[in-house]
Amino acid sequence: MPRKTATAGDATPSYEALMQRLQHVVERLETGELPLAEALALYEEGVALSTRCQQLLDAAELRIQQLSVGVDGLTMTPWADE
């Protein structure tokens, strides 16, 4: 049986990655040892990250795919509830 590996197709960073970066930014800022220009740039990045996270949480809608085996191997099709 041919087996095709399906991969997560989204190129946008995951919530986890965004959150990790945000936490890193917060920690760096909190050491307070950065030049001001760098600190401000980090702050802006942090705000953008936090906005992006917020958007992800607000807009999230559970996606459901059904996995099935066909002649081409594994295929995933959106699954309609009910």
- Residues lying near other proteins in the complex (CB under 8 A): 3-8, 14-16, 19, 22-23, 25-26, 29-30, 32, 34, 36, 39-40, 42-43, 46-47, 50, 53-54, 56-57, 60-69, 73-74, 76, 79, 81
Which of residues 8 and 71 has its CB atom nearest to other proteins in the complex? 8
Q: Show the tokens assigned to 13.
A: 């960073």
Is there a contact between 29 and 43 (Cβ–Cβ < 8 Å)? yes
- Residue 15's closest CA among 61, 47, 70, 55? 55
Decide if 42 contacts 34 (C-beta within 8 A): yes
Q: How far is the CB of 58 from other proteins (least distance, A)?
A: 9
Q: In the complex, what is the shortest distance from the CB of residue 31 to other proteins, in angstroms, rounded to a whole number?
A: 9
